[in-house]
Amino acid sequence: MAHEVKAKDLGITLAKGDEAALFKWFLASFLFGKRIQQDIAVDAYHVIVDKYKRDSPRKLCNCSWQTLVDMLGEGRYVRYDESTAERLLKLCDRLNTEYKGRVGTIFEVSDSRKDLDRRLREFDGIGPKTVEIFMREAGPVWCGSDSI
């Protein structure tokens, strides 16, 4: 894949208020944010979301660490499979406990773009690159062009 993978390439249509799509893009952005080939990240996303239907923080948190490692391995995401599985479990746990299981809540409680970026980077394994990938498409839909 020579181009940047977009949400629509994964079958995700982002729309304000569509929490399911927002979480899927958040998960995809997390996978793309690592030093790994895009096609491998795409495969891992499809295995987790499409094959095993782990498409919400609750469903993802109901996986064991080993189950996630196995899913990542099936998607060829083997370079970081163990640390990624651990971070994904922490990510969904934090979403469930601090943000009512909703990525949209992060947008709602942030009072500025800087605050939003900070909240996103507080998740283990999310750095500036992941935030950039996520916000490239989620920002315009969820924040509008003149807010956050």
Give mean pLDDT in consecutive 10-residue pieces for the chain, a chain of 148 residues.
Answer: 82 94 97 93 97 96 96 93 95 96 95 94 95 94 62
Q: What is the pLDDT of residue 51?
A: 98
Q: What is the pTM of this model?
A: 0.93
pLDDT score, position 1:
42
**Burial of 120 by CB count in 10 Å (0-12 exposed, 13-18 middle, 19+ buried)?**
buried
CATH of 15-140, one of 1.10.340.30, 3.40.50.1400, 1.20.1560.10, 3.40.1690.10: 1.10.340.30
- Helical (H) or strand (E) element with 137: helix 128-143
Task: Measure the CA–CA gap between 91 and 122, rounded to whole angstroms.
Answer: 10
CA 49 and chain centroid, separation: 11
Say what the pLDDT of residue 79 is: 83
In this prediction, residue 19 carries a pLDDT of 95
CA-CA-CA-CA torsion sign (28, 30, 35, 36) = negative
